[in-house]
Structure 1
Amino acid sequence: MGIGRMGRKLRAYNLVKTLFVLVALAVSACHREVAMPPLPLRNIALTDKFFDVWPTSPTRAFIVGDRGKVLLTEDGGRTFKRIDIGTQLGVFGIQMTDDQNGYLCGQDGLIMRTRDGGKTWKRLDSRTHLFIFGLSFPDANHGFFVGDRALVESTTDGGESFVKRQLQKLFPPELADYALPYEEPVLYSASFTDVDHGWVVGELGRIWATENGGKSWNEQQQSLLPQWKREPGINDDKRFLDFLLPTFFSVSFRDQKHGAACGLEGWVIQTDDGGKTWNFAHQADKPGAAPDSLVPGASQIPARDPLFSIDLFGGDQGITTGLTGTVLRLQPNGAWAHDPSVPALPFPLSQARFFDAQHGWIVGYGTILYTADGGKTWHFCQG
């Protein structure tokens, strides 16, 4: 009996063991059958921060952003290719001077150059670790970079060497102690129409212009002071009233005479004489509507969105973008109207650039938009 019971136990144990092995094999076989390949890495995510875009043709464009991200599309945003530039530093600006040559700039004094159409990028010795926010190249060899602490760097040999300077107002000795809050303003944007004529804008309403390739510079914001009707605050020093203008983040010139800039308090300024005089431009709720009658500097409720980018293109076109998806287009009467054709997005829109009157791009936080019909419709690029 004992032996028989033991035999039955052994057979039952072996049966359970066999069933366990068969189940394990079946489960593993099922896992092998339903195994899925890893999901492809998306080139565009809501967490991305895109800062600039530069189109080189109606359908080809580079987009740059946070953590060294550089994308290239050659089919109008249907597909994107990620380019490894060998750094995780944020890239704030990019410009291609032709199909093969281009430059980018960013954090920690980052300046890089491509000579092969953007396939590879080489870091150049910028001689600084300051953030570089903007750049402008009128040709492949002559360029200007602007950034933190009033930084301006220029090159005449395609980045082989740089001349570095601080572009700021020099105060007389008797004002030196009082002028400390106004020293070394951040410079955000530059626009050169040729190797001689260029403009730089930045913090505290700074506008600088050169007519000799950066050998000398002149301030241009003085014409805005009578138009800015904000009363100085209790702690504002009236000896520095021209430093109480709003910060300008972006500037764009279509030729030596016609330019525009935009900035912190949502105002656009314009010039038709190369910056000898600047004027605050009015805005409208929609295209065709009458311009508003707001007084520059007066209290506004609700406050306007800051405007981060401006691009003048074609013979008479212009676009500017801002904080909560704001997009304004230049109207024939000189006002800037809110553009209802752009999808309503609650994200900061960092930059807009058009290749020509029909083909353009808008980039921002988690956003890349493309138009092929002059902005009548916009395509949301999925990557």
Structure 2
Amino acid sequence: MERNLHAYSLIKTLLVLIALATAACHREVALPPLPLSNITLTDKFFDVWPTSPTRAFVVGDRGKVLLTEDGGRHFKRIDIGTQLGVFGIQMADDQNGYLCGQDGLVMRTRDGGKSWERLNSRTNLFIFGLSFPDALHGFFVGDRALVLSTTNGGESFTKRQLQRLFPPELSDYALPYEEPVLYSASFLDVDHGWVVGELGRIWATENGGKSWDEQQQPLVAQWKRPLGPGDDARFADFILPTLFSVSFRDQKHGAACGLEGWVVQTDDGGKTWQFAHQSDKPGAAPDTLVPGAPQIPARDPLFSIDLFAGDQGITTGLTGTVLRLQPNGAWAHDPSVPAIPFPLSQVRFFDAQHGWIVGYGTILYTEDGGKTWRQCQG
């Protein structure tokens, strides 16, 4: 019995000493807070704009703007003073840049992205895309067929709706086709540009937006989906799939992509457009699918496309889909990109070797022309 009491006393003493030692450790060692990651799985990144081989801006939901200067090894967050979603960004040169987003958000930087000022866009509509051929001339596109243009670096804007005007006898029937959303713009210079959007709209201008021409008509004959019971034959060219992104490498060669996983391309400045075929892998024969015919399984929507380096092109989509332009004109699934089952919102290359892909919780970087990709951790 005495031995048990002695053992109990010894254990109690040891426990007291451990408690005191632990308390002493807590008093003397201040544990630093865990660092907050700039890239999380809950992030939604919508656009990226590289300004050098290793420097790029990334923008996304809740006003998030990130900057890397070392090829994505480290990022720093830039406070732009708003929690609104940022859908697009472009630096027109080293110092001047613009971004756009939710609720009519348009902002400008004049110091290389260190600080941003909000401009009066004169709208509360969502603005999804922008294109600036130089620091003064730019175009923004968005909801309800919105086009904003500026010739003075955002000091003032001209606002219009870029849509077809229907004759009075069709006005009642045309309501479902009015004010289509415009998602993307690509301007090569202050005069020549293209805009794409909902219902397969493709618009082009050769005079800086003073006048616009529709270009999607050649696609209508290629789209073999029959009209449904509620479709009106007078609006047959409004059954084309929505286009989310457009990219031109020069005044003749351009491509766009969109809702049903199709890429359309032109070799004559948009006078004619063709649906492009796809391949399962590089080097494989192009498929023989008919545009508009039922596809089982359905293709992923494609959200972005970038033509770069003279003859290269990449498009990205919903569940990590990445297609690469092949020498035969087909687009093949690219096995070099890590398998990521998340939406990939944007792809942009700075030059033939250095490029970025961003999406939901994802930032990827390549420095070898897309042969390998590194997932950035922030």
TM-score between both structures, scaled by the size of structure 2:
0.94
Unaligned runs of 5+ in 2: 1-15
1:340 aligned onto 2:335: yes
DSSP 3-state at the match of 1:29: helix
Structure-1 separation of matches of 2:343 and 2:88: 16
Shift of 1:239: 1.1
Deviation at 1:36, TM superposition (A): 1.5
For 1:127-206, list aligned pairs within 5 A: 127-206=122-201
Which residue is equivalent to 1:11? none
1-side partners of 2:327 and 2:19: how far apart? 75
TM-aligned CA deviation for residue 27 of structure 1: 5.1
For 1:204 and 1:275, how far apart are their aligned partners in 2? 17
Q: What's the RMSD between the two structures over aligned residues?
A: 1.5
Matches within 5 A, 1:266-305: 266-305=261-300
Alpha-carbon distance, 1:30 to partner: 2.8
| Aligned twin of 2:307 | 312
Name 1:29's counterpart in structure 2.
Answer: 24
Task: Report whether the alignment pairs 1:362 with 2:357.
Answer: yes
How many residues of Structure 1 are paired with residues of Structure 2 in the alignment? 365
Q: Kindly, what percent of the aligned residue pairs are identical?
A: 88
What residue is the counterpart of 2:115 in the other structure?
A: 120
Indicate the SS of the match to 1:108.
helix
Deviation at 1:333, TM superposition (A): 0.6
SS in structure 1 at match of 2:257: strand
The residue aligned with 2:371 is 376
| 1:11-160 superposed matches below 5 A | 28-160=23-155
Q: Distance in 2 between matches of 1:255 and 1:236?
A: 37
Deviation at 1:317, TM superposition (A): 0.5
Partners of 2:199 and 2:155 in 1: how far apart?
A: 32
Give how far 1:23 is off: 9.1
How far does residue 31 in structure 1 lie from its aligned partner after superposition? 1.7
CA distance in 1, matches of 2:83, 2:252: 39
Partner of 1:352: 347
**Post-superposition offset of 1:25:** 6.4
User: 1:236, CA displacement in angstroms?
Assistant: 1.1
Letter in 1 for 2:161: Q
Report the Cα offset of residue 192 of structure 1: 0.3
The alpha carbon displacement at 1:106 in A equals 0.2
- SS in structure 2 of the partner of residue 95 of structure 1: strand
TM-score, normalised relative to structure 1: 0.93
Q: CA deviation at 1:35?
A: 3.8
Query: How much does 1:22 deviate?
Result: 9.4
1:301-345, Cα deviation, whole Å (9 max, x unpaired): 000000000000011000000000000000111000000000000
In structure 2, what is the Cα distance between the partners aligned to 1:238 and 1:365? Answer: 39
User: What is the alpha-carbon distance in structure 2 between the residues aligned to residue 22 and residue 248 of structure 1?
Assistant: 71
User: In structure 2, how many angstroms separate the alpha carbons of the residues matched to 1:100 and 1:39?
Assistant: 34
Per-residue deviation, 1:26: 5.4
Return the letter of the residue paired with 1:196: D
CA distance in 1, matches of 2:264, 2:141: 20
Aligned to 1:16: none
Comparing 120-129 with 27-36, greater Cα deviation is found at: 27-36
Partners of 2:65 and 2:303 in 1: how far apart? 20
**Aligned partners of 2:133 and 2:312: how far apart in 1?**
20
Which residue identity does 1:209 align to in structure 2? A
2: CA distance between counterparts of 1:30 and 1:175? 81
What is the one-letter code of the residue matched to 2:361?
Answer: G
Code of the aligned partner of 2:172: D
Residue-by-residue CA offset, 1:250-293 (whole Å, 9 max, x unaligned) = 00000111000000000000001110100000000111111000
Give, in whole Å, the separation in 2 of the partners of 1:357 and 1:27: 58
Question: Post-superposition shift, 1:205?
Answer: 0.5
Provide the rounded CA distance (Å) in 2 between the counterparts of 1:346 and 1:126.
36
Distance in 2 of aligned mates of 1:249 and 1:51: 12
Q: Deviations over 1:223-272 (max 9, x none)?
A: 10110000011111111111000000000000111000000000000001
> For residues 301 and 27 of structure 1, what CA distance do their matches in structure 2 show?
63
Give the residue type in structure 1 aligned to 2:286: P
Distance in 2, matches of 1:25 and 1:88, equals 47
Which of 314, 326, 333 is the aligned partner of 1:331? Answer: 326
Aligned residue among 217, 223, 241 for 2:218: 223
Deviations 1:145-175 (A, max 9, x none): 0000000000000000000000001011111
Larger Rg: 1
Unaligned regions of 5+ residues in structure 1, if any?
1-20
Q: Give the aligned residue type for 1:367.
A: T
Determine the structure 1 residue equivalent to 2:13. Answer: none
Q: CA deviation at 1:202?
A: 0.2
Alpha-carbon distance in 1 for matches of 2:40, 2:30: 25
